[in-house]
Amino acid sequence: MAPTAVEKLLALLFWAAVGLLFAVFRVLSRPNAAAPVRKLPPVANPLLLLSATQLAKKIRRREVSSVEVVQAYIDRIQDVNPLINAVIKDRFDAALQEAAQVDKLIEEETDGEEVLEDRLPLLGVPLSVKSSYAFQGMPFTSGLRSRSGVVASVDAPPLTLLKKAGAIPLVTTNTSELCMWLESHNHLHGITNNPYDLERIPGGSSGGEGSLLGAAGSVIGVGSDIGGSIRIPAFFNGIFGHKTTSAKGVVSSENQYPPSSGRHKEYLSLGPMCRYAEDLKPMLKIMAGPNAHMLSLNASVDLKKLRFFTIPHDSGSVWTNAVSEELMEVQRKVVERLEADLGVRVQEVCFPELSHSFQIWDTYMRLPDDEGNPPTSFSKLMGEPGRPAWPAWELLKRTVGKSDHTVAAIGLGLMEWTEASAPSQSTVQMKERLQKKVDELLGTDGVFLYPSHPRVAPRHHHPLFRPFDFAYTGILNTLGLSVTQCPLGLGEEGLPLGVQVVAGRLQDHLSLEVALFLEKAFGGWREPGSPATNADGAEQAS
């Protein structure tokens, strides 16, 4: 049923009220200087500081057992999860049994280490899984209260492939409600915290993954991304994340919830999240399965022969915050390191169309598929498995604490009512112009740097007041590009800095190679509580 004029007015008033409350909320949400600051315990077990690639090698060589590695991560999760609330459910007993079977297999193996590596490259390595992936026997809720009793009966294809490669899943992790918000908060599993500052958000929708990885409670994980849901949590939690080229079927999106509809499969990407850059490519090869060849992951890359560009901001959108000086400075430092270490020239470019990134993303997310089927409305998803939710009624219920839905989800439902039924042709034409410019710029040997977000991780609930800042990531989904999110040390507040490294369609191997370079240049993941770093990766004097 189409919304009435009154309902549309209510939707507009909702967002106007949110804006007016911003100043009050900022005052009320200021941290109490007298309150004790809660911090994560330091990493004590050195096994937690090795990449998945290194762990797998040690396990194959019997230098450490899979049981020891799995137990180390179980211990760490039990230490940190009460503080970050990233885990929905664990399977620790089953994982230890699987680890014991791995150790027995290695003891009996007669074909040699290389054969084992080729057949089972992640043998015995722990893995965390975003709860929007179907994971047999585990909750399959995507943060929706009406799905509280839903348990997956199968594994999503990428998870099946990772398990076949020897990985051992330990936990499933929290998301935003229905995976469509920057903050991993829902009324079924609660709110997830950022490990670098528990008063801040870990991002969304793969926020549970990002938080657990940043806290050293996981070494590798899997996420999904239709507007930044891998890259924003990777940025806020100081880890690596890769948005695979947006192309139907490169990494299967089957058995995900919510399911894709409309043209969403063209923009949805599944990919790896991890603390160490060397794990990105092996994980992506496994997750892509028979389609891995499409991404040229085995091609050698000479960084000195690539063409590099930098785009420092979105040309001044009225919808987004301006990029902070701290993030602009660290991007300039990346440019300096590329030029100094590789002898390349990094050219600054500007695309005025980027100032309309949100409108472009929003327009294309609402387009029907080739058969004319529109995407499933957010209000319908909110109400499943029953009738569609009525956001105006849910808003009234929320004022007295009776709604099953978060304010963010209700706001998204209301926003649907204010949108035009037909896409703006001027926006479509603008996207086509931008697509042509970007494709010509990148070709098959170009890479550009672009801010991950206008600010470092904000405090809890603050995205409600600037809901469109995700446009810095969302536009790259609409353009179908491959993107690797790279950490660049910690800033003045001890929060992760970072940048997006963007390559052309099906040129994922280029941004992944740049990620390896940036990890060496800037130090990669830093343990929460580490000293802040200068923009070139060196520790600041305290």
Encoding tokens for residue 167? 């990985």
Question: 51 an active-site residue?
Answer: no
Exactly one of 58, 130, 333, 431 is catalytic; name it: 130
* DSSP states of 366-434: T---TTSPPPPPHHHHHHTTSSPP-HHHHHHHHHTT--SS-HHHHHHHHHHHHS-SS--HHHHHHHHHH
* Residue 486: closest CA among 502, 508, 472, 468: 502
* Residue 55: closest CA among 45, 65, 44, 43: 65
Exactly one of 65, 66, 131, 205 is catalytic; name it: 205
Exactly one of 51, 132, 184, 229 is catalytic; name it: 229
Residues 511, 513, 516, 521: is their CA dihedral positive or negative?
Answer: negative
Residues facing 172 on adjacent strands: 89, 129
Encoding tokens for residue 172? 């499933």
Q: Which residues fall within 8 angstroms of residue 193, CB to CB, at 6 or more apart?
A: 83, 84, 85, 199, 200, 201, 202, 211, 460
3-state SS assignment for residue 202: coil
Q: Which residues fall within 8 angstroms of residue 61, CB to CB, at 6 or more apart?
A: 113
CA dihedral of residues 37, 38, 44, 45 (deg, nearest 10)? -150
Residues facing 273 on adjacent strands: 221, 241
Cα angle value 137/189/467 (rounded, 5°): 120
Q: Does residue 46 have a cis bond before it (omega within 30 degrees)? A: no
CA distance 96 to 369: 44
Question: 205 an active-site residue?
Answer: yes
Question: 229 an active-site residue?
Answer: yes
Residue numbers annotated as active site:
130, 205, 229
